[in-house]
Amino acid sequence: MRNAARLTAVLSLIIVTALWTAGRDDASGGVAAWGRLAALWSADLLLIQVVLMARIPWIERAYGQDALARVHRWTGFASFHLLLAHIVLATVAGFGWGLFTRPGMLWAWAATAALVLVVITSRRRVRHRLRYEKWHLLHLYAYLGVGLALPHQFLIGSDFRGPAARAYWWTAYAIAAGSVLLFRLALPAWRTVRHRLTVDRVTTEAPGLVSVYLRGRRLDRLPARAGQFFVWRFLDGRGALRGNPFSLSGPPRGDALRITVKVVGDGSERVSTLRPGTRVLIEGPYGRMTAATYAGGPVTMLACGVGVTPLLALLWDLPYGLGKATLVYRTRHPHEVAFLDELEWLAEHRGVRLVPLVGPRAGAGSWLPAEFADYEDGEALRSLAPDIARHDVYVCGPDAWTESVLRAARAVGVPPARLHRERFGW
Ligand SMILES: Cc1cc2nc3c(=O)[nH]c(=O)nc-3n(C[C@H](O)[C@H](O)[C@H](O)COP(=O)(O)OP(=O)(O)OC[C@H]3O[C@@H](n4cnc5c(N)ncnc54)[C@H](O)[C@@H]3O)c2cc1C
């Protein structure tokens, strides 16, 4: 599937280049023509980006969120730099006031402004200063950019005139818009209506940590698996349409689902006060840290804080042998260790080895607690499981912590196909 997606993207760029070559009769010379090619590639990459982020299930399964986010970032910046090249080359080619007065140009400048905003706020340094919701709202301006660029392209873009070019671009725009409408709106709406999830009860697992049990219709038909997450919207009053991603903290059952939420801000706070009967909108399931990617054999799981939720679901779900699974559970304080009943049951009946690692961090960049500061990160993994390179390793927690575990696991030879992770960040 990854290859098919790559091939489609490369093919689309080749088609665009071929259409440009075929229609190249530009009286204003080479610079203008190269400027148009830059614009065509930019538009094509932008559409590819829209399709990649449309949450199409088989693309998500093939790439996973991490890889998709990387490709999305790369195509986004490439598309934007090509757009800048287009503007510079059109200026050099002497379009002068035409850059403002030709049909559709004001829309094109508005599109550029929207995309500039998206690119600036995507820079890591700026992004981390913004609240998630603000950043997300600004990021949606990319769709506005795609839409506003349309009149300019079709009104004055000479490469959009021939029947083949028109057919290609209308098809590309229709696929991009159709993917978003179908997979980001229609499918979640259909699943929400079909399964009618409501809150059954809310229980406290540890201070500031609550589980929400949900009931619904025909949940056996919901294609969710242990290890996956949904974006949840609880219809409990004002601001309910703001979604938050939470993983399933137990394997999905035919009649019930469970999530477990740490209170860190407004969205998670309101989850802790939900009343039974509250209706729920769902978007998902997403994520590919499921049994589908389990190679078999021994398993080492490393969780930090609330990152334990999808790993707990997987401990119930994966078909590992008796005594062949270890859960390393990292928390800052002893009272943050949750699900002790379930973990004891798993230890007794499936031989799961529980290794709690409690305490403040050993140091910047380390995944270990201070107590083990003498250990090197990779060495600590090896002391947990000397043959860890032959294990399936599952990691979930905050970004920086997850990254340091992944680094250590790679350093001790765990192959990429056996490293499974979910990041609780953005
Ligand atoms: C794939 C995934 C699975 C997750 N699973 C769980 C889980 O099972 N249990 C749990 O307690 N937490 C989970 N989280 C983290 C959880 O989504 C955030 O803690 C929560 O959304 C915070 O929202 P808030 O309004 O309470 O806090 P805010 O103050 O609004 O946000 C606090 C921080 O949470 C992150 N965040 C907020 N909204 C989102 C969003 N829509 N998408 C991604 N990150 C966001 C941002 O880093 C933000 O800085 C998961 C996150 C991701 C990405």
* Nearest alpha carbon, ligand 1 atom 43: 426
Q: In what order do the strands lie in the sheet with 299-304?
A: 353-358, 325-331, 299-304, 392-397, 419-423
Matching CATH number, 291-423, of 3.40.50.1100, 2.60.40.1730, 3.40.50.80, 3.40.50.300: 3.40.50.80
Ligand 1 centroid to Cα of residue 267, in Å, is 8
**C-alpha angle 20-93-26 in degrees, rounded to nearest 5:** 35
* Nearest alpha carbon, ligand 1 atom 40: 244
If you write DSSP's letter for every residue of 208-256 in order, what string do you get?
TEEEEEEE-SSGGGS---TT-EEEEEE-SSTTTT--EEEEBSS---SSE
* Nearest alpha carbon, ligand 1 atom 17: 245
pLDDT at 64: 80
Ligand 1: residues with CB < 6 A are 132, 229, 243-247, 259-262, 264-268, 306, 309, 422, 424-426
Classify strands 353-358 and 325-331 as parallel, antiparallel or unpaired. parallel
For 2-183, give the CATH class: mainly alpha
Q: Which atom of ligand 1 is nearest to the CA of 287?
A: 1
Q: In what order do the strands lie in the sheet with 280-286?
A: 244-247, 229-234, 280-286
Classify strands 280-286 and 229-234 as parallel, antiparallel or unpaired. antiparallel
Q: Which residue has the tokens 């080359």?
A: 89
Q: Per residue of the chain (426 residues), what is the pLDDT tens digit?
A: 667 778 888 999 999 999 988 877 655 558 888 998 999 999 999 999 899 889 998 888 888 877 888 888 889 999 999 999 999 998 888 777 777 777 778 888 888 998 998 889 888 888 888 888 788 888 888 888 888 887 787 777 777 778 898 899 999 999 999 999 999 999 999 999 999 999 999 999 999 999 999 999 999 999 999 999 999 999 998 778 889 999 999 999 999 999 999 999 888 999 999 999 999 999 999 999 999 999 999 999 999 999 999 999 999 999 999 999 999 999 999 999 999 999 999 999 999 999 999 999 888 888 999 888 888 999 999 998 999 999 999 999 998 899 999 999 999 999 999 999 998 876
User: Which pTM value belongs to this model?
Assistant: 0.89
**Mutational pocket test of ligand 1: of 211, 273, 286, 424, the residue with most ligand atoms within 8 Å of the beta carbon:** 424
Ligand 1 centroid to Cα of residue 301, in Å, is 21
**C-alpha angle 324-325-331 in degrees, rounded to nearest 5:** 155
Ligand 1 centroid to Cα of residue 393, in Å, is 23
Residue 368 has φ and ψ, to the nearest 5°, of -90, 155
Q: Which atom of ligand 1 is nearest to the CA of 268?
A: 26
Ligand 1 centroid to Cα of residue 213, in Å, is 18
Ligand 1 centroid to Cα of residue 263, in Å, is 9
Q: Which atom of ligand 1 is nearest to the CA of 310?
A: 8
Ligand 1 centroid to Cα of residue 339, in Å, is 20
Q: Which atom of ligand 1 is nearest to the CA of 267?
A: 25
pLDDT at 129: 85
* Nearest alpha carbon, ligand 1 atom 6: 246
User: What CATH number has the domain spanning 196-286?
Assistant: 2.40.30.10
Ligand 1 centroid to Cα of residue 265, in Å, is 9
Tokens of 13: 């760029």
Ligand 1 centroid to Cα of residue 102, in Å, is 45
pLDDT at 95: 72
Q: Which atom of ligand 1 is nearest to the CA of 65?
A: 1
Alpha-carbon distances, residue 6 vs 48, 51, 65, 183 (angstroms): 10, 12, 16, 20
Q: Which atom of ligand 1 is nearest to the CA of 231?
A: 41
* Nearest alpha carbon, ligand 1 atom 13: 246
pLDDT at 122: 86
Residue 354 has φ and ψ, to the nearest 5°, of -105, 125
Contact 227, 290 (CB under 8 A): yes
Ligand 1 centroid to Cα of residue 413, in Å, is 31
pLDDT at 63: 82
pLDDT at 289: 93
Q: Where are the chain's structural domains?
A: 2-183, 196-286, 291-423
* Nearest alpha carbon, ligand 1 atom 2: 424
pLDDT at 25: 64
Residue 174 has φ and ψ, to the nearest 5°, of -65, -40
Ligand 1 centroid to Cα of residue 398, in Å, is 10
Alpha-carbon distances, residue 77 vs 73, 162, 211 (angstroms): 6, 29, 40
Which uninterrupted H or E stretch holds 150?
helix 141-156
Contact 14, 76 (CB under 8 A): no
